[in-house]
Structure 1
Amino acid sequence: MALLPQEIIRRKRDGAALSQEEIAAFVAGIADDSIGEGQVAAFAMAVFLRGMARAEAVALTRAMTESGQRLDWQGLDLPGPCVDKHSTGGVGDKVSLILGPLVAACGGYVPMISGRGLGHTGGTLDKLDAIPGYTTAPDVDRFRQTVKAAGCAIIGQTADLAPADKRLYAIRDVTATVESIPLITASILSKKLAAGLQGLVMDVKTGNGAFAATVEEARALAESIVAVAGGAGLPTTALITDMNQPLGSTAGNALEVAESVAMLKTGQGDARLRELVIALAAEMLVLGGLAPEAAAAAQQAEAALTSGAAAERFGAMVAALGGAADFVERSDDYLPKAPVQRPVAAEAAGRLTACDTRAVGLAVVELGGGRRRVEDSIDYAVGFSDLLPLGSAVQSGDPLAVVHAATEEAAEAASRRLQEAFTFGQTVEDAGGPVVRQRITAADV
């Protein structure tokens, strides 16, 4: 069978199922630049339009995983399993900052490869960059040693991990081929498989602030990831979770770090955020064999959060990756603060019945808390705090949130965006819905 790039593209264009050999050859050409950008773009569009069977998606995932370095934790003699979680992204989603240390406090090891903000969604790495001194791009040895010492390390994708994915994603981003379930699946899983995991939990967001607007779209992606991960040898479960309102009471990098640290220190905080953290932790502990079933795992996670054990792991991770050793105790002294902070007033009385979550995320971007272009710098101090959850009753003039901005003009513009993002009514039935909508396991696919 011909392995010429143009023949592989033609076969996929015409709807044929590609062989493992064809996929491996094409991915190798992506990784070593022997296949040109035009051909990579054409391949991405062919997959976008024609799709891939599960066997093809497994082969694509494996080939992208093998395009670079694969981490091996065997030599460190870790006494617990390597497990991780990945989210499809949302507004106010600071779950990883709490979850990684929490699972570490329960005996797991969490080598988390995270990303930056994309569009209206915030990125975990951008949040961590708000911590003075924290390096999100350590060398592999420092990454490994941090995982061993602290139990968790959250860093960015290195040049050596799944390099084919890095190039393919950059081309997909500018050729309108991002929203392809096989390509999304392979992109996520190739990095996770390269990280040497023994178990993965997916947090697939659904709602007006998510990539998957409907539960049906989210389920299709979740089922693809769970099935392909299983086919590639990585046990995976997925939770489909709500993104019809910001997650937690903050949106903006330093503000989200502060909210996360507060929950780690006190064990308390926003109810939906806390519920999701415990649910994801329970899934990770069961996958890693650290608890027999979900209820026992949730109790274990609750104990680690309320005892302060998770906060200790977070502090150890920050210190090992260049931050202050007393960051958890004195985070308020270290995190940047915006010069303008003022309440955003409700323009009507009633209950908050709906939220345009994407608009809230874009308001943070407009404040300078996200990027319009890859090369843009970020103002880590800006965003919103004290965001009211759906169902809250307000009078006209009551604060919906506090805006944190660099200038009065920026604060005024962001305030208007936030006011327009909320819908007011008199009654709320099941405002926002449950935070965990569905659970997908290998048995479901």
Structure 2
Amino acid sequence: MLCTNLIRQKRDGGELNAQQWKQLISGFCDGSVSREQMAAMAMAICIRGLSDQETAHLTAEMLGSGSRLPRVTDRPRVDKHSTGGLGDKVSLILAPLLAAAGCDVPMISGRGLGRTGGTLDKLESIDGFQTSLSIEQSSAVLRDVGAFIVGADESIAPADRSLYALRDVTATVESVGLITASILSKKLAASLDALVMDVKVGTGGFMPTLDEAESLATRIVQVAEKSGLPTTAVLSDMDQPLGEAVGNAIEVNETIAILQNQPRNPRLDSVRQLTIELAAHALVEVGKATDLDAGKRLLDGLIQNGRAYEVFEEMVTAQGGRLPIAVSGDPLRLERAQEITAASAGWVSHIDCPAIGDAIIMAGGGRRRGGEKLNHRVGVRMFVRIGDHVEKGQPLLRIHDDNTKMASPETWIQISDVAVPASPLIIKTLDASGHQLPPTV
């Protein structure tokens, strides 16, 4: 069938079958389907949508366009993926934590996208850390350490890599079906036994409403089930940054503080709790824990006894990184440029996540265009969360920026003169069968 007929069929609301998706993706890879034709198809998909079955077919074809990571041990193989948000450094903690619990964690991550920080960018604030490893090199790290965090090798789902580059410049990133196929094709290529998804809900992520986030979470769980990958989806709050730190080096500092079990900071509890919640679901799915509570106790113990941090150090060293002697405070030392205090007493009612994310990008902590070199030292430390009571003159946030002052930081946090309830960290959880579980945090 001519590619133009496939585009027309999808444009008019029809469904493509398995053979048609195979023809489309194989043609895109060998050049017989042009970039212009694939861009037109992406727009048709964005407007008309994909059924679960179509998404499963597309996922399978993108997976089949490349290689799979080999299994190098008999340990269960798990991973986590987040839709991204401000201050989301969970992956940096979760990978060594699950490895310490006896799992293999072959984590293929990405760079910052829009306002959301990228796991690879954060790790590259560590001197010497290598995020580009061959499959042979990453497999050796996985065998010896139990976890790696790298960018996708060019042989992993190359069709997705090419399609995503088109989506990024054609306003078709937001399609639930295309997002699902993009995520799952790479996770299936990692030969996982279980996956846990962290789907962010709020202004600091890509899914600002609960309905949008739940639609994506449901689609991912259902298509993953069709593809033979048990997946749990946790919907978590992103109307405010996660933890205190937002930025690259500053989030590595926060990761180290949590993994070293430094004196408890209540504002870091959200990071620790969400990480343990996600990791516990993975342990239950692969039989490493009898239930969620048992998994949480095991994981909490691995942080308290220092084993999780030992694995983090081993992973950093295996990937070429050199950590400074970690001390309480800022192991990767950062300049303090500006501090914002409360103009009046009251309750924190709103945090402007888009403004914070944009300010960090403009100061060089994120990219305005592809290929830009980052200033890893740029960041913001948040001292309050929604629902907190503050006194006049109390510090609200601190800006780390070596060069310039960020625009209008005094407007980022709104204070109400009436009490405001705290936002729940975990909003909903969908198990591998798509059933909703009650939140536990």
Shorter-chain TM-score range: over 0.9
Percent of pairs identical after alignment? 44
Aligned counterpart for 1:355 among listed residues 346, 351, 355: 351
Q: CA deviation at 1:36?
A: 1.1
Aligned counterpart for 2:369 among listed residues 340, 351, 373: 373
Q: 5 Å matches for 1:48-127? A: 48-73=46-71, 76=72, 78-127=73-122
How many pairs are equivalent? 432
Aligned counterpart for 2:226 among listed residues 216, 228, 231: 231
Point out where structure 2 has 5 or more consecutive residues left out of the alignment.
Answer: 436-441
Q: Verify: 1:337 aligned to 2:334, yes or no.
A: yes
Q: Cα gap change, 1:327/1:35 in structure 2, threshold over 3 Å: closer, same or farther?
A: farther
Q: CA deviation at 1:192?
A: 0.5
Equivalent position of 1:261 in the other structure: 256
Equivalent position of 1:38 in the other structure: 36
* TM-score, normalised via structure 2 length: 0.94
Aligned counterpart for 2:123 among listed residues 107, 128, 142: 128
- Read off the aligned partner of 1:346 and give its amino acid letter: A
Q: Cα gap change, 1:316/1:185 in structure 2, threshold over 3 Å: closer, same or farther?
A: same
CA-to-partner distance for each residue in 1:235-265, whole Å, 9 max, x for gaps? Answer: 1010000001100101010000000001100
Equivalent position of 2:420 in the other structure: 429
Q: 5 Å matches for 1:399-418? A: 399-407=395-403, 410-411=404-405, 413-414=406-407, 416=408, 418=409
Equivalent position of 2:198 in the other structure: 203
Q: Is the 8 A contact 1:315 1:328 kept in 2?
A: no
Equivalent position of 1:323 in the other structure: 321
SS at match of 1:9: helix
Q: Verify: 1:419 aligned to 2:410, yes or no.
A: yes
Q: Is the 8 A contact 2:325 2:331 kept in 1?
A: no
Partners of 1:164 and 1:422 lie apart in 2 by 42
SS at match of 2:301: helix
Partners of 1:208 and 1:295 lie apart in 2 by 31
More displaced, 84-93 or 270-279? 270-279
Q: Is the 8 A contact 1:353 1:427 kept in 2?
A: no
Q: Is the 8 A contact 2:386 2:421 kept in 1?
A: no
Q: CA deviation at 1:376?
A: 1.4
Q: CA deviation at 1:204?
A: 0.2
Partners of 1:24 and 1:353 lie apart in 2 by 50
Q: Is the 8 A contact 1:64 1:190 kept in 2?
A: yes
Aligned counterpart for 2:287 among listed residues 286, 289, 294: 289
SS at match of 1:385: strand
Q: Verify: 1:396 aligned to 2:396, yes or no.
A: no
More displaced, 257-266 or 21-30? 21-30
Q: Is the 8 A contact 1:58 1:228 kept in 2?
A: yes
More displaced, 393-402 or 294-303? 393-402
- Read off the aligned partner of 2:136 and give its amino acid letter: D
Partners of 2:96 and 2:22 lie apart in 1 by 36
* TM-score, normalised via structure 1 length: 0.94
More displaced, 264-273 or 216-225? 264-273
Q: CA deviation at 1:386?
A: 4.4
Q: Is the 8 A contact 1:113 1:157 kept in 2?
A: yes
Point out where structure 1 has 5 or more consecutive residues left out of the alignment.
Answer: none
SS at match of 2:163: helix
Q: Cα gap change, 1:189/1:328 in structure 2, threshold over 3 Å: closer, same or farther?
A: farther
